[in-house]
Chains A and B, each alone.
Chain A
Protein backbone atom coordinates (compact mmCIF):
# COMPACT_ATOMS: atom_id res chain seq x y z
CA UNK A 1 0.00 0.00 0.00
CA UNK A 2 1.12 3.54 -0.72
CA UNK A 3 2.48 5.56 2.17
CA UNK A 4 0.59 8.57 3.45
CA UNK A 5 1.73 11.75 5.18
CA UNK A 6 -0.49 13.72 7.55
CA UNK A 7 0.14 16.64 9.90
CA UNK A 8 0.49 15.36 13.46
CA UNK A 9 -2.10 17.68 14.94
CA UNK A 10 -4.72 20.29 14.09
CA UNK A 11 -7.16 22.49 15.96
CA UNK A 12 -10.61 23.50 14.88
CA UNK A 13 -13.27 25.65 16.49
CA UNK A 14 -16.60 24.02 17.16
CA UNK A 15 -19.08 24.65 14.36
CA UNK A 16 -16.41 25.42 11.80
CA UNK A 17 -15.28 23.14 9.02
CA UNK A 18 -12.31 20.91 9.77
CA UNK A 19 -10.12 20.27 6.74
CA UNK A 20 -7.66 17.43 7.24
CA UNK A 21 -5.02 17.02 4.51
CA UNK A 22 -3.26 13.86 3.42
CA UNK A 23 -0.44 13.36 0.95
CA UNK A 24 -0.18 10.07 -0.92
CA UNK A 25 2.13 10.88 -3.81
CA UNK A 26 3.00 7.23 -4.55
CA UNK A 27 -0.60 6.06 -4.86
CA UNK A 28 -1.21 3.68 -7.74
CA UNK A 29 -4.15 3.65 -10.09
CA UNK A 30 -6.17 0.97 -8.37
CA UNK A 31 -5.63 2.10 -4.80
CA UNK A 32 -8.37 3.77 -2.83
CA UNK A 33 -8.08 6.47 -0.18
CA UNK A 34 -9.75 5.51 3.09
CA UNK A 35 -10.31 7.62 6.18
CA UNK A 36 -10.84 6.23 9.64
CA UNK A 37 -10.92 7.95 12.99
CA UNK A 38 -10.23 6.76 16.50
CA UNK A 39 -11.76 8.42 19.48
CA UNK A 40 -9.73 7.94 22.62
CA UNK A 41 -9.79 4.35 23.92
CA UNK A 42 -12.17 3.14 21.23
CA UNK A 43 -11.77 1.09 18.08
CA UNK A 44 -11.30 2.88 14.76
CA UNK A 45 -14.42 4.04 12.97
CA UNK A 46 -14.80 4.08 9.20
CA UNK A 47 -15.55 7.53 7.78
CA UNK A 48 -15.35 7.51 4.01
CA UNK A 49 -13.37 6.25 1.06
CA UNK A 50 -12.88 7.16 -2.59
CA UNK A 51 -10.92 6.43 -5.74
CA UNK A 52 -10.98 9.46 -8.04
CA UNK A 53 -14.16 11.39 -7.56
CA UNK A 54 -15.07 13.46 -4.58
CA UNK A 55 -17.29 11.63 -2.14
CA UNK A 56 -19.76 12.76 0.48
CA UNK A 57 -21.71 10.93 3.14
CA UNK A 58 -23.47 11.83 6.35
CA UNK A 59 -20.20 12.15 8.23
CA UNK A 60 -17.82 13.92 5.89
CA UNK A 61 -16.67 14.85 2.41
CA UNK A 62 -13.57 13.57 0.69
CA UNK A 63 -11.85 15.72 -1.89
CA UNK A 64 -9.22 13.98 -4.02
CA UNK A 65 -6.96 16.02 -6.28
CA UNK A 66 -7.02 15.31 -9.98
CA UNK A 67 -3.57 13.73 -9.90
CA UNK A 68 -4.69 11.71 -6.82
CA UNK A 69 -1.50 12.57 -4.97
CA UNK A 70 -3.33 14.21 -2.12
CA UNK A 71 -6.74 14.41 -0.54
CA UNK A 72 -8.64 16.36 2.08
CA UNK A 73 -11.19 15.10 4.54
CA UNK A 74 -13.76 17.73 5.39
CA UNK A 75 -15.93 17.67 8.48
CA UNK A 76 -18.37 20.45 7.56
CA UNK A 77 -19.47 21.46 11.05
CA UNK A 78 -17.09 20.07 13.62
CA UNK A 79 -18.41 19.24 17.07
CA UNK A 80 -16.57 18.43 20.27
CA UNK A 81 -17.31 14.76 19.65
CA UNK A 82 -15.22 14.92 16.49
CA UNK A 83 -12.08 15.24 18.60
CA UNK A 84 -10.12 12.13 17.58
CA UNK A 85 -7.12 10.85 15.68
CA UNK A 86 -7.86 10.73 11.96
CA UNK A 87 -6.09 8.21 9.79
CA UNK A 88 -5.68 8.47 6.03
CA UNK A 89 -4.97 5.04 4.52
CA UNK A 90 -4.36 4.01 0.95
CA UNK A 91 -5.20 0.46 0.04
CA UNK A 92 -6.48 -1.84 -2.62
CA UNK A 93 -10.24 -2.25 -2.67
CA UNK A 94 -11.89 -5.65 -2.86
CA UNK A 95 -10.25 -8.99 -3.35
CA UNK A 96 -7.87 -7.98 -0.64
CA UNK A 97 -7.33 -9.67 2.65
CA UNK A 98 -4.85 -7.02 3.61
CA UNK A 99 -5.04 -5.33 6.96
CA UNK A 100 -5.18 -1.56 7.15
CA UNK A 101 -1.79 0.05 7.56
CA UNK A 102 -2.31 2.77 10.14
CA UNK A 103 0.22 5.57 10.13
CA UNK A 104 0.44 8.14 12.88
CA UNK A 105 -2.63 10.07 11.78
CA UNK A 106 -3.70 13.60 12.64
CA UNK A 107 -4.88 14.37 16.13
CA UNK A 108 -7.79 16.77 15.71
CA UNK A 109 -8.82 18.86 18.68
CA UNK A 110 -12.17 20.61 18.39
CA UNK A 111 -12.41 23.48 20.83
CA UNK A 112 -15.49 25.26 22.18
Chain B
Protein backbone atom coordinates (compact mmCIF):
# COMPACT_ATOMS: atom_id res chain seq x y z
CA UNK B 1 0.00 0.00 0.00
CA UNK B 2 0.87 3.67 -0.20
CA UNK B 3 3.34 4.98 2.36
CA UNK B 4 3.24 8.29 4.18
CA UNK B 5 6.12 9.46 6.33
CA UNK B 6 6.38 12.15 8.96
CA UNK B 7 9.42 13.88 10.29
CA UNK B 8 10.34 14.20 13.04
CA UNK B 9 8.67 11.39 14.94
CA UNK B 10 9.28 13.14 18.25
CA UNK B 11 10.25 16.70 19.07
CA UNK B 12 10.72 18.61 22.28
CA UNK B 13 10.88 22.37 22.09
CA UNK B 14 10.86 25.31 24.42
CA UNK B 15 7.85 27.51 24.86
CA UNK B 16 7.84 30.37 22.37
CA UNK B 17 9.78 28.61 19.66
CA UNK B 18 8.46 27.27 16.35
CA UNK B 19 8.44 23.70 15.17
CA UNK B 20 8.04 22.37 11.64
CA UNK B 21 6.58 18.94 10.93
CA UNK B 22 6.89 17.38 7.49
CA UNK B 23 4.46 14.98 5.87
CA UNK B 24 5.55 13.14 2.74
CA UNK B 25 3.78 10.73 0.43
CA UNK B 26 6.60 8.42 -0.60
CA UNK B 27 5.21 6.50 -3.54
CA UNK B 28 2.23 8.46 -4.76
CA UNK B 29 1.16 12.00 -5.45
CA UNK B 30 -1.24 13.64 -3.07
CA UNK B 31 -3.11 16.75 -4.09
CA UNK B 32 -4.83 16.74 -0.72
CA UNK B 33 -3.35 16.14 2.69
CA UNK B 34 -5.02 16.42 6.07
CA UNK B 35 -3.61 17.37 9.44
CA UNK B 36 -5.05 15.94 12.63
CA UNK B 37 -4.27 16.45 16.29
CA UNK B 38 -4.80 13.90 19.01
CA UNK B 39 -4.65 14.56 22.73
CA UNK B 40 -4.10 11.69 25.18
CA UNK B 41 -6.98 9.24 25.38
CA UNK B 42 -8.95 11.20 22.80
CA UNK B 43 -9.81 10.65 19.17
CA UNK B 44 -8.25 12.34 16.18
CA UNK B 45 -9.47 15.86 15.54
CA UNK B 46 -9.14 17.39 12.10
CA UNK B 47 -7.16 20.61 12.11
CA UNK B 48 -6.93 21.53 8.45
CA UNK B 49 -7.11 20.36 4.88
CA UNK B 50 -4.09 21.08 2.74
CA UNK B 51 -4.39 21.32 -1.02
CA UNK B 52 -1.33 21.50 -3.25
CA UNK B 53 -0.76 24.97 -4.59
CA UNK B 54 -3.52 26.66 -2.62
CA UNK B 55 -4.25 27.89 0.86
CA UNK B 56 -5.18 25.39 3.52
CA UNK B 57 -8.69 25.18 4.90
CA UNK B 58 -8.79 25.28 8.67
CA UNK B 59 -11.41 23.80 10.96
CA UNK B 60 -13.31 26.03 13.30
CA UNK B 61 -11.28 26.95 16.34
CA UNK B 62 -7.90 26.24 14.73
CA UNK B 63 -5.76 29.38 14.43
CA UNK B 64 -4.33 29.61 10.95
CA UNK B 65 -1.64 32.05 12.03
CA UNK B 66 -0.45 29.66 14.70
CA UNK B 67 -0.57 26.48 12.67
CA UNK B 68 0.98 27.36 9.32
CA UNK B 69 0.46 24.83 6.57
CA UNK B 70 2.34 24.73 3.30
CA UNK B 71 1.63 22.18 0.58
CA UNK B 72 4.22 23.20 -1.96
CA UNK B 73 4.44 19.96 -3.91
CA UNK B 74 2.39 16.86 -4.64
CA UNK B 75 4.41 14.85 -2.13
CA UNK B 76 5.08 17.26 0.72
CA UNK B 77 3.01 19.21 3.20
CA UNK B 78 4.43 20.95 6.24
CA UNK B 79 2.81 22.05 9.48
CA UNK B 80 4.60 24.73 11.46
CA UNK B 81 3.52 25.33 15.02
CA UNK B 82 4.51 28.91 15.71
CA UNK B 83 5.22 30.32 19.16
CA UNK B 84 4.52 26.96 20.70
CA UNK B 85 3.04 26.72 24.17
CA UNK B 86 2.70 23.72 26.50
CA UNK B 87 -0.97 23.35 25.55
CA UNK B 88 0.17 22.66 21.96
CA UNK B 89 1.80 19.48 23.17
CA UNK B 90 0.01 16.73 21.29
CA UNK B 91 0.28 13.94 18.73
CA UNK B 92 0.09 15.39 15.24
CA UNK B 93 -0.88 13.07 12.41
CA UNK B 94 -1.10 13.72 8.71
CA UNK B 95 -2.86 11.78 6.01
CA UNK B 96 -2.43 11.92 2.28
CA UNK B 97 -5.18 11.28 -0.19
CA UNK B 98 -4.52 9.50 -3.44
CA UNK B 99 -5.86 11.08 -6.57
CA UNK B 100 -6.83 8.77 -9.34
CA UNK B 101 -6.07 5.18 -10.18
CA UNK B 102 -7.48 2.00 -8.66
CA UNK B 103 -7.41 3.42 -5.16
CA UNK B 104 -8.97 6.75 -5.94
CA UNK B 105 -9.31 9.07 -3.03
CA UNK B 106 -8.11 6.66 -0.38
CA UNK B 107 -6.35 8.12 2.61
CA UNK B 108 -3.12 6.89 4.06
CA UNK B 109 -1.82 8.05 7.40
CA UNK B 110 1.61 8.96 8.59
CA UNK B 111 3.05 7.50 11.80
CA UNK B 112 2.49 10.72 13.72
CA UNK B 113 4.72 13.29 15.42
CA UNK B 114 4.80 13.62 19.19
CA UNK B 115 5.31 17.28 20.11
CA UNK B 116 6.21 18.23 23.65
CA UNK B 117 6.52 21.90 24.53
CA UNK B 118 8.34 22.64 27.76
The DSSP consensus for interface residues of chain B is: strand
A23 vs chain B, min Cβ distance (A): 17
Once the chains bind, are A42 and B43 in contact (CB under 8 Å)? no
Shortest Cβ distance from B104 into A: residue: A94
* From B6, B44, B105, B108, residue with most partner A Cβ within 10 Å: B44
Contact with A along B87-103 (1 / 0, CB 8 A): 00001010101000000
Shortest Cβ distance from B93 into A: residue: A43
Contact of B112 among A43, A87, A96, A104 (CB under 8 A): A43
Once the chains bind, are B105 and A95 in contact (CB under 8 Å)? yes
A102-B105 in contact given A42-B111, A46-B1, A97-B97 (Cβ < 8 Å)? no
Once the chains bind, are A44 and B105 in contact (CB under 8 Å)? no
A100 touches B (CB below 8 Å)? yes
- Docked CA distance A46–B106 (Å): 9
Q: For A46, what are the chain B residues with a Cβ–Cβ distance below 8 Å?
A: 1, 106-109
A39 vs chain B, min Cβ distance (A): 10
B42 vs chain A, min Cβ distance (A): 8
Instruction: Give the number of chain B interface residues (Cβ < 8 Å).
Output: 26
Shortest Cβ distance from A103 into B: residue: B43
Q: For B51, what are the chain A residues with a Cβ–Cβ distance below 8 Å?
A: 97
Shortest Cβ distance from A104 into B: residue: B43
Once the chains bind, are A42 and B112 in contact (CB under 8 Å)? yes
Interface positions, chain A 81-98, Cβ under 8 Å from B, are: 87, 93-97
Excluding A43-B112, A100-B107, 13 further A-B contacts by CB distance (< 8 Å) are A42-B111, A42-B112, A46-B106, A93-B105, A94-B105, A96-B105, A99-B34, A99-B36, A99-B46, A102-B43, A102-B44, A103-B43, A105-B43
